[in-house]
């Protein structure tokens, strides 16, 4: 896990950009100027602590990358690379594969990554993993193209004057995240999940995207993408999928549970590959309990697990359930609490870390967990993706019910029809999916990369921690997504097959018990100050432009109304007006 930055097609250096990303890579920075390119890498050492420094050179090619390629061991074995490898880096096998196959090598990767590869053939590529676990941002320059792990790198280097895209800000206040490839700063775009881009003469010359739910076949002659094939020559051809992968042959529930066990165990095993201490974040829910169960199985020593609970009247606290699981699995369990003082302290920190914003209040406990784990762990496994792949959300069950029983589409309700129309376009699923699969597809295309994974990346990287998501693995997705609906949703239960498996492997997780849901009691902490905060919101220019009625909305309150406005006001002061974190909080909420 690292921070990367680069400039392609111009004589500018990436050194100024990488200076803004050292929180992502606290172990050291390297900058290298090549003909037509300047590459910079801030390293968080995880694999091959001595030899894994980047930029990495091999087989006539150069790469810098953020993230991990988990199947580097298998790639080296399958392609007999052992005698050619000079390091133990997980990125080096890619360079040798590129020398053999060209850009078709990208489709062989199993991991989370954002990278820049300059081949021995003179071609330059940018690529991002299919789920969008790791970020990459692009900025066009006069005569060139800059890229970085976070937009703040462009601002720090003087390449960008941050200017708000009001349409993206309206999405943020409507959904708690932004849509599509356009960033909230005008002129900046995100590399889309699964996108591979060729850069020529400092400009994007070619771009194609592989969605993460379209199947997987790593045969040498062709890479299967849904029902179409990617030829390895000439160049890179990734067809746009038009249909879902075929469902697997009918199997009984017992056989599927056994297959699920093998698939999940394999994913957790490769996600544990690390030369530094690893553990997990454990909530009271099914997904993290599933990861904990497999980690306990695969490790001889007790696995370190961190849980966060809330100190507020009436707050839903998962610590008791998490402790039951930890005791049953013999985990090294550690709890941390989150109270009102934490809320006001962490709010501006989270707003600073999320230069590409999400107003999801789950960022707050995620920050606190990362803060608690720092110094003990360097790698943390989490349960993100379990709901999306196995059908866990209540909105999925609502979408399957008829209207007369309260059924409705699994889509957000932002209030603004234009904003909802943009969401529907971004969430559009291919033909041939069931209604449940359509809802899953939409979440994987919108909410997952732009909210959940963005939250995980920024909150952990701000503390120099690497977050890994075993559910968001191509092998797990290839198993889970084509499952018949009845193995995902039955009656009032989502994640049916996962619950059945967990009931057998870790009964202490109580997978059939009624869950209390995850909420952060932000309203209890905001309400006492609401009367003072409301008039201050309209003094922030970005708030006035996007939500002129913010003061009235905030004063009136209502479910989910106050937190997004408070977050956006603090965010705007920091990232648009240059305020410090302390200044931004005091301007909106006053002194503690």
What proportion of the chain, given as a percentage, has pLDDT over 90?
85
pLDDT confidence of residue 250: 58
**Lowest-confidence region among 185-199, 453-467, 508-522:** 508-522
Please check whether residue 31 is in contact with residue 5, taking contact to mean a CB–CB distance below 8 angstroms: no
Q: Tell me, yes or no, if the two domains 2-231 and 253-305+316-332+368-509 fold the same way.
A: no
Of 522, 586, 543, 171, give the one whose Cα is nearest residue 357.
171
Average pLDDT over residues 308-319: 86
Phi, psi of 172 (to 5 degrees): -60, -45
pLDDT confidence of residue 326: 98
Q: Which CATH architecture has domain 253-305+316-332+368-509?
A: 3-Layer(aba) Sandwich (3.40)
| Distance between CA atoms of residues 401 and 407, nearest Å | 4
| Distance between CA atoms of residues 395 and 240, nearest Å | 28
pLDDT confidence of residue 317: 87
Whether this model's pTM surpasses 0.85? yes
Q: How buried is residue 546: exposed, middle or buried, by Cβ count under 10 Å (0-12/13-18/19+)?
A: buried
Question: Would you kindly state where each structural domain of the chain is located, as residue ranges?
Answer: 2-231, 253-305+316-332+368-509, 522-589
DSSP labels, 456-524: HHHHHHTTT-EEE-TTS-HHHHHHHTTS-GGGT-BTTBSSHHHHHHHHHH-GGG-TTSPP------HHH
Phi, psi of 159 (to 5 degrees): -90, -15
pLDDT confidence of residue 238: 33
Q: pLDDT band at 488, cuts 50/70/90?
A: very high
DSSP state of 377: B
Please check whether residue 451 is in contact with residue 459, taking contact to mean a CB–CB distance below 8 angstroms: no
| Distance between CA atoms of residues 494 and 232, nearest Å | 40
DSSP labels, 19-71: GGGTTT-TT-EEEEEETTEEEEEEE---SSTTT--SSEEETTEEEEEEEEETT
Please check whether residue 365 is in contact with residue 308, taking contact to mean a CB–CB distance below 8 angstroms: yes
Count CB atoms within 10 A of the CB of residue 505: 19
DSSP state of 84: G
**What is 2-231's CATH number, 3.90.1150.10, 3.60.20.10, 3.40.50.150, 3.30.70.2750?**
3.60.20.10
Alpha helices, DSSP H, located in 506-580 = 522-526, 530-537, 541-546, 550-556, 562-575
Across the chain, what does the average pLDDT equal?
Answer: 92
Q: pLDDT band at 106, cuts 50/70/90?
A: very high
Average pLDDT over residues 282-308: 97
Please check whether residue 384 is in contact with residue 469, taking contact to mean a CB–CB distance below 8 angstroms: yes
pLDDT confidence of residue 278: 98
State whether the Cα torsion 101-230-390-411 is positive or negative.
positive
**Lowest-confidence region among 37-41, 78-82, 329-333, 578-582:** 78-82
Q: pLDDT band at 519, cuts 50/70/90?
A: confident
Please indicate whether residue 204 or residue 249 has the higher confidence score (pLDDT): 204
Strands 111-118 and 61-69: antiparallel
At 342-380, the pLDDT tens digits run 999 999 999 999 999 999 999 999 999 999 999 999 999
| pLDDT tops 70 at residue 243 | no
Please indicate whether residue 210 or residue 236 has the higher confidence score (pLDDT): 210
CA angle 473, 95, 8 (to 5 degrees): 95
In degrees to the nearest 10, what's the CA dihedral of 241, 246, 248, 252? 120
| Distance between CA atoms of residues 367 and 500, nearest Å | 32
Q: Tokens for 369?
A: 């967990």
Q: pLDDT band at 245, cuts 50/70/90?
A: low
| pLDDT tops 50 at residue 228 | no
| Distance between CA atoms of residues 423 and 532, nearest Å | 34
pLDDT confidence of residue 216: 53
């Amino acid at each position: 896990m690292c921070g990367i930055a680069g400039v392609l097609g111009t004589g500018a250096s990436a050194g100024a950009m990488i200076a803004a990303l050292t929180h992502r890579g606290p172990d050291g920075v390297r900058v290298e100027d090549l003909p037509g390119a300047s590459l910079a890498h801030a390293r968080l050492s995880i694999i091959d602590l001595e030899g894994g420094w980047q930029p990495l050179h091999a087989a006539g090619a150069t790469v810098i990358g953020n993230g991990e390629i988990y199947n580097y061991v298998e790639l080296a074995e399958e392609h007999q690379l052992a005698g050619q490898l000079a390091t133990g880096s997980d990125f080096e096998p890619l360079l040798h594969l590129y020398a053999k196959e060209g850009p078709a090598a990208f489709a062989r990767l199993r991991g989370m990554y954002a990278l820049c590869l300059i081949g021995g053939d003179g071609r330059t590529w940018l690529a991002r993993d299919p789920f969008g676990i790791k970020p990459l941002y692009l900025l066009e320059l006069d005569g060139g193209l800059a890229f970085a792990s976070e937009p703040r790198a462009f601002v720090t280097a003087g390449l960008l004057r941050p200017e708000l895209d009001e349409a993206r800000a309206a999405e943020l206040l409507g959904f708690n995240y932004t849509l599509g490839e356009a960033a909230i700063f005008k002129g900046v775009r995100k590399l889309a999940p699964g996108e591979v881009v060729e850069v020529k003469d400092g400009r994007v010359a070619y771009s194609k995207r592989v969605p993460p739910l379209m199947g997987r076949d790593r045969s040498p002659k062709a890479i299967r993408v849904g029902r179409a094939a990617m030829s390895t020559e000439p160049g890179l051809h990734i067809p746009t999928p038009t249909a879902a992968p075929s469902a697997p042959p009918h199997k009984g529930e017992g056989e599927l549970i056994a297959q699920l066990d093998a698939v999940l165990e394999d994913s957790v095993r490769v996600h544990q590959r690390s030369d530094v201490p690893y553990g997990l974040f454990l909530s009271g829910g099914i997904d993290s309990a599933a990861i904990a169960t497999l980690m306990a199985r695969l490790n001889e020593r007790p696995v370190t697990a961190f849980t966060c609970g809330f100190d507020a009247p009436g707050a839903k606290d998962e610590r008791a359930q998490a402790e039951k699981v930890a005791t049953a699995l013999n985990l090294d369990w550690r709890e941390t609490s989150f109270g009102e003082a934490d809320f006001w302290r962490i709010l501006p920190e989270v707003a600073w870390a999320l230069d590409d914003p999400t107003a999801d209040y789950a960022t707050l406990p995620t920050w606190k967990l990362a803060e608690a784990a720092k110094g003990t762990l360097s790698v943390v496994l989490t349960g993100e993706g379990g709901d999306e792949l196995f059908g866990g959300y209540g909105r999925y069950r609502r979408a399957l019910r008829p209207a007369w029983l309260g059924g409705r589409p699994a889509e957000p309700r932002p209030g603004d029809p234009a904003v909802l129309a943009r969401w529907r376009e971004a969430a559009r699923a291919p033909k041939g999916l069931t209604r449940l699969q359509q809802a899953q597809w939409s979440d994987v295309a919108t909410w997952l990369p732009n909210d959940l994974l963005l939250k995980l990346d920024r909150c952990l990287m701000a503390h120099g921690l690497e977050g890994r998501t075993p559910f968001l693995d191509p092998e797990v997705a290839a198993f889970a997504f084509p499952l018949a609906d009845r193995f995902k949703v039955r009656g009032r239960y989502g994640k049916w097959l996962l619950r059945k498996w967990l009931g057998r492997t870790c009964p202490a997780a109580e997978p059939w018990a009624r869950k209390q849901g995850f909420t952060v009691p932000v309203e209890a902490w905001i309400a006492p100050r609401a009367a003072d905060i409301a008039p201050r919101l309209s003094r922030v220019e970005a708030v006035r432009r996007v939500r002129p009625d913010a003061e009235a909305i905030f004063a009136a309150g209502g479910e989910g109304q106050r937190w997004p406005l408070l977050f956006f006001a603090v965010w705007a002061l920091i990232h648009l007006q240059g305020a410090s974190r302390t200044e931004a909080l005091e301007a909106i909420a006053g002194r503690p």
